[in-house]
A and B are shown apart, each in its own frame.
Chain A
Amino acid sequence: MERLIKLSKVCDISAGLVLRRKEAQTKSEIIKTYKLITLKSLEDDGWVNSEYLDDYNSFELLDDRYLTKENDILIRLSSPYTAIKVKAEQVGFVIPSLFAIIRLNKKDIDSGYLSFVLNSDTIKKSYFKNAMGITIPVVRMQTIRETQIPMVSTTKQQIISKINDLMIREKRLHQQLTLEKEVYNKELTKRIIKGGNKNAK
């Protein structure tokens, strides 16, 4: 049987940057402009959409712990508590305090597997129950630290991680298909109403 392990045992968990603390107020103060992860840039299926990143001007160089690293997992602290895995091309972005940063410190856990588990309904429900606040229920860092993760063999983790990737890809393909079908059917409708056009491409 698989054993359960506390998330804090296998990862370093910290909060993102409180933006106001390092934000340059005037142009002359700017030391560096970073790309900033925003809530909008987080797609529900667990990937970062670079189109919606913002610029962040800081008045000093930021500590590495606030910048994305490959294989980090970010958890959104407010509903729907989406977890995303940071890919190689998404490193160096500023993580604001709206997210928890999960940084793996052990070799025996796969980041793809972990994000799969963290995105499961069971975990999200437990976060929802433990969230604080009324209008915007926010999950506490402590709750995240205590998340119970089922541990399976490394091989199994890798397979599950691949399945996770496939699921995300499959969902995006289905969305694309729906869009293309819509265009196709609209055009068909138009041609049918016009009484058909034999020379149509």
Chain B
Amino acid sequence: MQSKQWTQKEVNETLWRACDTFRGKIDSSIYKDYILVMLFMKYISDVYKEHYTELLEKYDGDKEMADRQIKLDRFTLNDASSFDDLYQNRNASNIGEIINKALADVEETNKTKLRGVFKNIDYNSESILGNTKERNTMLKDLLEDFSKLDLRPSRLLGEDVIGNAYEYLISNFASDAGKKGGEFFTPSEVSELLSRLVKPEENDRIYDPTCGSGSLLIKAFDKVHSKKAQIYGQERNGQTQSLARMNMFLHSIDDAKIAWGDTIANPLHIENGKLMKFQVVVANPPFSLDKWASGFSGESNGDFKMESSLDPYKRFDWGVPPKSKGDYAFVQHMLHSLAEGGRMGVVLPHGVLFRGASEGKIRKEIIDLNLLDAVIGLPANLFFGTSIPATILIFKQNRNRDNILFIDASQDDMYEKGKNQNKLREEDIKQIVDAYEKYETEDKFSYVATKKEIKENEYNLNIPRYVDTFEEEELVDLKEVQENIESIKAELEEVETEMKKYLEELGV
């Protein structure tokens, strides 16, 4: 009998159903971690199990040889910390504790790759998962749900099923929970577009200073066919940073360096005391982050005012962004992290194109330094939990031109309308990427603006100033319209006379 093969869709659906165990009991922003960690555990257990069986076959059942060989694998597992072992213990009264121990053991045996990945998760937490009885039932259900999945590589149809399933869950949780405070999960089509625009190449260092669960970095990495590129990321939220590390591991990017900390106040990718430089920098930073500089405030109380001198890396010399809008803080950080000849793409709210005051000054500096290469307006409602339209800015070091390309991709025929979210289709992504490659003016779609024009517009980059998308109105023949009006009036008169006649007949 042929054994069952799991498709991407089936894996995704089974996982989403497994979430029913938690729904209604715990907030999805919390239980997502439990689900994602369990998926990780189940996957590495299944991979390990299959490989071990293969090795045993290869060495004619010589356990010692197989044991020795498997130690050379990407990762190793002890029998007591495998998913199967947890499943067998599903009725134990201390199952939460057993899972925690297993996770600690997985971390310990794979220190170099997974150290600290499970630091924020506690399957034995009474405050999150409830009292012992409730908690045990929930964990038992969870283990049973996952036991139905067979994630051995030979049983999965297609490549990277697990990585995609992981991404699927993350994006579904993002749409389920709705993020607060300007942090939005980047939809995969936007990540795809951004990574194609910055064209990562072999041996590039690729960096995302606000990497979240790492989806954008993975998309960018995928563009390097030889898979020879170094991934760097930083994320402020500890739990999300763990997710990013697991995500990298599941996508076989073992040497990704994902740091945990506030990128603005405490950038962690440092080389010789200076910010590390990268050939490719991508990001979808939190939109208009409030109190972005609070990491610099130290001991001060309430009256703290950010000054450029407070930053040892001198990132804010062009200007200090307003306290409540961190967009240009991230842009400046990224520009200071860009290597000679590097490419950078960043998703931002439209406000960055035209807001004045300090942001206007920073914009002017950036344009005068000839760093901005293109401004791309995206359709509204692409992100989960926010309907605001976003823009992608592309920057380059050492540009060989001094014009700026504007693309208005927000028009109705540039996306697929969805029930809750709009979506960029492959053809839309391609059209944008092609337009960027061509770097030409195209009627009602793109415009190559000269420095002079930008200056005339006082460095305001609002897209409608450059790309005119107004439809030419049809020429109206007044005489013809007048005639239509007269003929309608005449017909009306006819109707009224006829009506009068019938009404008289009726005697009304």
Contact = CB atoms under 8 A, between A and B. Distances in A.
A180 B481 contact: yes
Interface stretch (B291-299, B368-376, B472-480): B472-480
Interface string B328-364: 0000000000000000000000000000000000000
Interface string A167-190: 101100110110011011011100
A177 B492 contact: yes
A35 to B, nearest CB: 27
A200 B499 contact: no
B478 A201 contact: yes
A159 B506 contact: yes
A170 B481 contact: no
Interface residues of B, number: 20
B492 A174 contact: yes
Contacts of B477: 201
Contacts of A186: 476
A144 B208 CA distance: 67
Given A166-B498, A169-B495, A177-B492, A160 B481 contact: no
A163 B492 contact: no
Interface in B25-68: none
B147 to A, nearest CB: 35
Nearest to B484: A180
B310 interface: no
B425 interface: no
B88 interface: no
Nearest to B496: A170
A32 interface: no
A9 interface: no
Nearest to A186: B476
A65 interface: no
Size bracket of the A interface: 20 to 34
Contacts of A201: 477-479
A183 B502 CA distance: 34
Nearest to A181: B485
B506 A160 contact: yes
B499 A163 contact: yes
A2 to B, nearest CB: 12
Interface string B478-508: 1101101100110110011011001101100
Contact of B481 (A163, A169, A174, A183): A183
Contacts of B488: 173, 176-177, 180
B506 A156 contact: yes
A174 B485 CA distance: 10
Contact of A184 (B481, B489, B491): B481
B508 to A, nearest CB: 9
Contacts of A6: none
A135 B479 CA distance: 50
Interface of A: 156, 159-160, 162-163, 166-167, 169-170, 173-174, 176-177, 180-181, 183-184, 186-188, 200-201
Given A169-B495, A170-B495, A184-B476, 18 more contacts: A159-B506, A162-B498, A163-B499, A163-B506, A166-B498, A173-B488, A176-B488, A180-B484, A180-B488, A181-B485, A183-B481, A184-B478, A184-B481, A184-B482, A186-B476, A187-B478, A188-B478, A201-B477
Top 3 A-B pairs, shortest CB-CB distance: A187-B476, A184-B481, A177-B488
26 contacts: A156-B506, A160-B506, A163-B499, A163-B503, A166-B495, A169-B495, A170-B492, A170-B496, A170-B499, A173-B492, A173-B495, A174-B492, A177-B488, A180-B485, A180-B488, A181-B485, A183-B476, A183-B481, A184-B476, A184-B478, A184-B485, A186-B476, A187-B476, A187-B478, A188-B478, A201-B478
